[in-house]
């Protein structure tokens, strides 16, 4: 059973010849998209993962507070599909696709809009000087850029996305805040993916599983404690979500 058939069978709930495995490397800075694509290819040739993850570059911090939130759409450090970090990451994907030597699905990594906003403005949600409408305007802008990125990535050869949320955890935010500033923008991005294999990756120690259960994905991963309790939590995901889960014991990522 080739890798694509293996993953398709798992998604369909059909019998498989073996349990699929997924490995990925921690994001690293390289001199060019071509070099990053080559390093990614070398990593997956060495580890023989059943799913390939193309890393993304986190947005550059713009402000240590929520202040100075841009009024226009030109000042975000994340850029767009035509320039900046998002454009560079698309070039990594486009350079990697011709190097791929097997049928393993390729997933393009994207941060949730709220995670991107928090990377650029760490205290955005707690800064009283930024109005709710300003926060929503910023998140809408980031969401639109990310949706465009997702569609372009799949058109360029990705089979889906590896969607990371850093704040959907009770130890990071309250459920009410995430429902307002996280959930609707996450759904917009995930719904924009025309890919057939999409993974939700939830960071944090106390994942908001009841809230995330509505996300339109085929697999879920999370950084679970290396313990029996962590495995039990991931086993519960199958019952709650009706999708498949990959526990990722800490440390979850492998570096080259």
Backbone angles phi, psi at 207, to 5 degrees: -65, 140
Whole-angstrom distance, CA of residue 135 vs CA of residue 121: 10
Q: How far apart are CA 253 and CA 26, in angstroms?
A: 6
Rounded Cα gap, residues 36 and 207, in angstroms: 31
Cα 65 to Cα 60, 77, 115, 121, 124, distances in angstroms: 14, 15, 15, 6, 6
Question: Judging by beta carbons within 10 Å of its beta carbon (0-12, 13-18, 19+), is residue 134 exposed, middle or buried?
Answer: middle
Highest mean pLDDT: which of 175-179, 203-207, 248-252? Answer: 175-179
Confidence of residue 226 (pLDDT cuts 50, 70, 90): low
The pLDDT value given to residue 256: 29
**Per-residue pLDDT tens digits for 6-45:** 999 999 999 999 999 998 887 666 678 898 899 999 999 9
* Burial of residue 127, with CB atoms counted within 10 A of its CB: 0-12 exposed, 13-18 middle, 19 or more buried: middle
- Does residue 196 sit in helix, strand or coil? coil
Given a cut of 90, is residue 76 above it in pLDDT? no
The whole model's pTM is what? 0.86
The predicted pLDDT at position 83 comes to: 82
Residue 140, C-beta contacts closer than 8 angstroms, at least 6 positions apart? 185
Q: Which CATH class is domain 3-249?
A: alpha beta
The conformation of residue 141, written as its DSSP 8-state character, comes to: H
pLDDT at 200 over 50: yes
> Is the pLDDT higher at 9 or at 228?
9
Q: Which residues contact 207 (CB under 8 A, 6 or more apart)?
A: 168, 169, 170, 222, 233
Share of the chain above pLDDT 70, in %: 78
Give yes or no for residue 252 having a pLDDT over 80.
no
Q: Are 214 and 234 in contact (CB under 8 A)?
A: no
Which residues are CB-contacts of 18 (< 8 A; sequence separation ≥ 6)?
1, 6
Q: How far apart are CA 123 and CA 67, in angstroms?
A: 9
Strand partners, 254: 25
251: cis peptide before it, omega within 30°? yes
Extract the tokens encoding 186. Answer: 């996450």
Phi first, then psi: give them for residue 23, nearest 5 degrees: -125, 150
Q: How confident is the model at residue 247 (pLDDT cuts 50, 70, 90)?
A: very low
Query: pLDDT for 41-52, tens place per residue?
Result: 999 999 999 999
Helix (H, G, I), strand (E, B) or coil at 234: helix
Domain ranges of the chain: 3-249
Chain-centroid distance of CA 178 in Å reads 17
């Amino acid at each position: 059973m080739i890798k694509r058939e293996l993953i398709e069978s798992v998604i369909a709930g059909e019998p498989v010849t073996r349990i699929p495995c997924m490995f990925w490397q921690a994001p690293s800075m390289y001199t060019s998209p071509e070099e990053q694509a080559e390093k990614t290819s070398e990593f997956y040739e060495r580890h023989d993962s059943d799913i390939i993850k193309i890393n993304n570059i986190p947005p550059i911090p713009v402000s240590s507070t929520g202040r100075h939130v841009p009024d226009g759409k030109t000042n975000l450090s994340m850029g767009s599909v035509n320039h900046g970090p998002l454009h560079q990451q698309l070039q990594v994907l486009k350079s990697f696709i011709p190097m791929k030597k097997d049928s393993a699905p390729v997933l393009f990594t994207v941060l949730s809009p709220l995670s991107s906003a928090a990377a650029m403005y760490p205290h955005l949600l707690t800064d009283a000087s930024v109005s709710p409408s300003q926060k929503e305007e910023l998140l809408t802008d980031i969401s639109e850029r990310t949706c465009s990125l997702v569609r372009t990535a799949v058109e360029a050869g990705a089979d889906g996305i590896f969607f990371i949320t850093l704040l959907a955890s009770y130890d990071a935010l309250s459920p009410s805040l995430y429902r307002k500033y996280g959930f609707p923008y996450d759904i917009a991005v995930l719904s924009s993916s025309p890919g057939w294999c999409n993974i939700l990756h939830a960071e944090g120690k106390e994942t908001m599983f009841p809230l995330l259960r509505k996300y339109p994905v085929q697999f879920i991963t999370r950084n679970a404690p290396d313990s029996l309790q962590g495995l039990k939590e991931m086993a519960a995901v199958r019952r709650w979500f009706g999708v498949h889960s990959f526990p990722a014991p800490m440390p979850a990522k492998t570096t080259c």
